[in-house]
Amino acid sequence: MSNPLPATAERLTDVLDDALYEQYIRACDMTYRGTVDMFVLKAAYELGIFTQLAGQPQSVEALAAATGSRPNRLVKFTDMLIEMELLAKDADGALTLTPFARQFFLPPNPSNENLTMEPFVRYAITIMERYHVHLAKVIRGEMDFTALTPWPPKTREDSAFYEEIHRSNNHFVRNLLVAEADLDGVTHLLDVGGGNGDIAIALAKHFPGIERITLVNLPSALDIVRDNVAAHGLTDRITPVALDMYRDPYPACDAVLFARILYPFNAQVCAMLLGKAQAALPAGGRVLIADMLLRDERGLANYDYLAHFLTSVGVDPAMMTFKRQDEYFDVFQQLGFTDARKVERHGHVLYQARKP
Ligand SMILES: C[S@@+](CC[C@H](N)C(=O)[O-])C[C@H]1O[C@@H](n2cnc3c(N)ncnc32)[C@H](O)[C@@H]1O
pLDDT tens by residue, 7-59: 555 566 688 888 999 999 999 999 999 999 999 999 999 999 999 999 999 99
Ligand 1 contacts CB of residue 288 (under 6 A): no
Ligand 1 contacts CB of residue 311 (under 6 A): no
Nearest CA to ligand 1 atom 14: 193
What pTM did the predictor assign?
Answer: 0.92
Q: Which atom of ligand 1 is nearest to the CA of 246?
A: 19
Residue 250 designated active-site? no
Q: Which atom of ligand 1 is nearest to the CA of 170?
A: 9
Ligand 1 contacts CB of residue 349 (under 6 A): no
| Complete DSSP assignment for 287-355 | EEEEEE-SB-TTS-B-HHHHHHHHHHHTSSS-------TTHHHHHHHHHT-EEEEEEEETTEEEEEEE-
Per-residue pLDDT, 148:
85
Q: Which part of the chain has CATH 1.10.10.10?
A: 5-105
Question: 109-149: per-residue pLDDT in tens?
Answer: 999 999 999 999 999 998 999 999 999 999 999 999 988 88
- Fold adopted by 5-105: Arc Repressor Mutant, subunit A (1.10.10)
Which option is the CATH number for 172-297+317-354: 3.10.20.30, 3.40.50.1000, 3.40.50.2300, 3.40.50.150?
Answer: 3.40.50.150
Ligand 1 contacts CB of residue 192 (under 6 A): no
Of 300, 273, 297, 304, give the one whose Cα is nearest residue 287.
273
Over residues 305-333, the mean pLDDT reads 85
CA of 182 to the centre of ligand 1 (A): 22
Over residues 295-308, the mean pLDDT reads 89
Q: Which part of the chain has CATH 3.40.50.150?
A: 172-297+317-354
Ligand 1 contacts CB of residue 214 (under 6 A): no
